[in-house]
Chains A and B, each alone.
Chain A
Amino acid sequence: MTIDDLLDRFAAPSRREFLKTSGRLVVGVAAAAHAGPLVTAAGGRAALAQGAGPYPDPDFRQLDSWIVIHQDNTATFYVGKTDLGQGTGTAFRQIMSDELDMAFDRTTCIMGITDVTVDQGGSGGSDALQVDGWPMRRVAAEARRVLLDMAAERFGVPSDQLAVNDGVVWVTADPSRRFTYGDLIGGRRFDVTLTGRTINETTGVAPIKPVQALKYAGTSPPRDDIPAKVDGSARWAVDVKLPGMVHARHVRPPIAGATVVGVDESSVRDVPGLVRIVRERNYVAVVCEREEQAIAAATRLKVDWRAPATAPFPASDDLFTYMRRTTPTRSVDPQATGDVEAGLAGAAARIEAEYEVPFQGHTAIGPAHATADPSNGQLTIYSNDMKSYGLRDGVARFLDIPRDRVRVVWMHGPQAYGRTAADDAGFEAAYLAQRLGRPVRVQWSRAEETAWDTKGPAYLVRMRGGLDARGNLMALDYEARAADYGHLGYNEHDTVLVAQLTGRRRATPAPGGAAAPSDMYAVPNRRAAMHVVPLPLVWETPLRTGNLRDPNGPQVTFAGESFIDELAAAAKTDPVEFRLRLLAAGTGDDAGVRRARSIAVVKAAAEEYGWRARPSPGPRASGDTLTGRGFAYAFRNQTIVAQIAEVEVNRRTGRVWVRRLVCAHDCGLVINPEALRRTLEGAMMHSLSRALYEEVTFDTEKVTSVDWRTSPTLTHLDTPAAIDVVLVNGDPNPNRPDLPHYGAGEAACKPLIAAVANAIFDATGVRIRRVPFRPARVAAALQAARV
């Protein structure tokens, strides 16, 4: 199906016209809700076809920008977010239906289309409900207030003598007198101005409801994106097909930092369908009429590359040696309490350890892609960019065209988790479309994606700790080095790959960052020091760091929570008991009562698992299969998570199977428990894949992990037999009417690697301090320890 077919099916006056024109009747698009974002976004031909611009931002201070009530008493919500498969779109409908008093199944939600929905920045940081849910609730409450005022006027009674449910308003004293919301305003504008300096502060005058009055929040309506993903009717960014569209593929530097000397165009002269070879400095693309032709041309094009004078990076086998001896480009001010050196000096027992986490990629199941339409001197980019607004802004700057001549239509795409926040393919499609003057579809190859996508930074962490004679932790020192220099931002016009390769990049790389574990342990003498180390090649390198799902969290928590386990073992104390003591040792708490909630979550995980207190390692079995359990805990913002992994380790092969996972999780008010459970399962399994398999490998010229054989991932064979998620509400006043909804997905990524490492230790008595725990590494460690 082409976009034109979609337009014919769902033709309706344009959303932009609606936003501009007062008092006009519009036709609802609610019926299209389940067919995917392109269709639901349609609002009609004018909104989709590349008509006359400009494409201004919807005004977030206008109620009409957020909510449209249709004549058939359905509602469409327009929000500036993207749902990457966690069910946030369904959750937005739940909270907005609640505040609006509209039946949930009479609502739809349209997301992430820059000229149709307000700019809430798209997705990132698990902030959908934590941050963006609040203005959504407030504007929906305001719409309810306005509708009740309208009804009061129509009935001639004060609004406090009206009742409302599921979009129907009636006079309390005479229920036969009733109007639907559709009767009151169907298809017309609210024309109500909201206030707020920023979009996050957007509000009307109506208060939001107390938690106890929410009807849909806390229930689990099925996710509205799933049926179309299951029956094949969903439309994806990869599916976009436009009249006159051509296909582009890239030729990337075979050695990182290589420069193009020349391109032999004759090498592809006989490739049918060749449209253009595009080369600007070190950016090389082939464009063909058909996709398979572009693949052939990219394979056959002869490019003469000059290798860089010095090696771009050390080989991955030498990475940690390199990181250990390289002078940092940046050191973050240490966080310190007490005097850690004095505490260590006075300790009865001191231990120290080093932990290593390699570069790990996003390695999305679908390589990067986007399609751009340059007709009429404007640009529409069809993309799975999780931050579609940033792509619009970035492309406008990169190509030097007015911002209101660019729009981005967000559509379904493969696994984002930060990858599409630096949306290389979106920029490349726009760049090529502008150069060719016709629609271009860009599709990266598997090798290109696996080698050149953005990476989570490698970490080297040194930890030291001191126990007193009774096993109390008196001093804890954390010192991290992160290979994160030049960390990519969000859709920056001067750091995305095409900007680097074409030489239009900024002069100064981003300083990068390094993080410390997040916990509420009270240790009298404690320090966390963090450094950023650079690789030799900073630009035009496949070892580009960017945000990978809970950036830094899995790496630093692996170090922090492994070491806490080592300390517990040294103190011959049960690891849960050891942690609870550290949590209870502090008396202060913060506004979100993180300490009290941490204690509740740690206890809930142990209870769910059926944890029996004993020190690690446990008694060792005699056969080939050794079993053990490992605990870890962390928080992210105000979301608390504790996890337990129960493992089987094959003594002979070194294979680790996590047969049971337990997760206790407190993100405050839960909107959709079933969607949350699946999000947590996926987040844990992602970190399990990172724990067991994932590593970007490279020699001194190039990345060598380029497909699913060289870049292994978790498979069905690794799936735990049981995953138990317990949702905790550890707020001291769990029924408070203003219980906030915090972020969910990423917190659950944090503790898992450490939980697995701790379980391996519990099973075998051997501590693995280097990720990933592939069979060969584990087997070698067991053999060395004569297990």
Chain B
Amino acid sequence: MADVTLNLNGRRRTVDVDPATPLLYVLRNDLDVHGPRFGCGLGQCGACTVLINGTATRSCMTPVSAVRGEITTLEGLAKDGRLHPVQQAWIDEQVPACGYCQNGQMLTAAALLQRNPRPTDEQIRAAMAPVLCRCFTYYRIQAAVRRAANAAATA
């Protein structure tokens, strides 16, 4: 065990854990941040996605000691009490069914729009493809990504 300090959603948090522990379990079990969820532990599904310096990252495969930079989870996406445009689009489009995977969908969409504010439909499909949904809400997710991009463009 060792002290590891993380920059999480704008706060510094220190935990005493085995440095090899995947970030996912530290976030969920030590820091009570439950946006990222366990789906496969293999980096294949995206349910555990967090942003590290704005890049969508699979927290189930990332040792906590390897994290460098600012971690943003679903809980940290809203700013100043306002939902992120992606979150608002998810509500407006009524996207989630069970909702278990939507953490990864929203954070991946937020990362996409950060680096490409006006993605084409093909770019949306390609960027979102690694995040799986077994309620198959893909059609509404893609509509919500377009909606968020349009909202940001007109804001």
Contacts and interface: CB of A to CB of B under 8 A. Distances in A.
Main secondary structure of the interface of B (DSSP, over half): loop
A173 to B, nearest CB: 44
B132 A715 contact: yes
A253 interface: no
Nearest to B130: A715
A226 B21 contact: no
Contact of A708 (B45, B99, B102): B45
Given A232-B34, A708-B40, A716-B142, A414 B125 contact: no
B103 interface: yes
A682 B141 CA distance: 12
B78 to A, nearest CB: 6
Contact of B136 (A226, A366, A682): A682
B141 to A, nearest CB: 7
B97 interface: yes
- The range of chain B's interface size is 35 or more
A1 B128 CA distance: 30
B1 to A, nearest CB: 8
A674 B97 CA distance: 12
A84 interface: yes
Contacts of A86: 97
Nearest to B128: A716
Nearest to B88: A230
Contacts of A290: 21, 25, 29
A364 B136 CA distance: 11
A85 interface: yes
Interface stretch (A234-242, A550-558, A577-585): A234-242
Contacts of B151: none
Contacts of B75: 231-233
Contact of B96 (A226, A364, A709, A718): A226
A436 interface: no
Contacts of B140: 678, 681
Given A415-B134, A719-B138, A674 B41 contact: no
Interface in B16-73: 18, 21-22, 25, 28-29, 32, 34-35, 37-42, 44-45, 47, 73
Contact of B91 (A227, A233, A709): A227
A714 B96 contact: no
- The range of chain A's interface size is 35 or more
A413 B100 contact: yes
A272 to B, nearest CB: 7
Given A227-B91, A682-B97, A366 B29 contact: no
Contact of B139 (A239, A675, A681, A715): A681
**A226, A233, A686, A720 — most chain B CB neighbours (10 Å):** A226
B136 A689 contact: yes
A230 B87 contact: yes
B152 interface: no
Given A85-B97, A290-B25, A365-B134, A295 B91 contact: no
B133 interface: yes
Contacts of B134: 363-365, 414-415, 686, 713
Interface of B: 18, 21-22, 25, 28-29, 32, 34-35, 37-42, 44-45, 47, 73-75, 77-78, 83, 87, 90-91, 94-103, 106, 121, 124-126, 128-142
Interface of A: 1-2, 84-86, 222-223, 225-227, 229-236, 238-239, 241, 272, 290-292, 295, 363-367, 412-416, 443, 445-446, 674-675, 678-679, 681-682, 685-686, 688-689, 707-709, 713-721, 723
Across the A-B interface, give the 6 residue pairs with the lowest CB-CB distance, nearest first: A685-B136, A85-B97, A229-B99, A414-B100, A85-B98, A232-B74
8 contacts: A226-B99, A229-B96, A239-B28, A292-B18, A682-B135, A716-B128, A716-B131, A716-B141
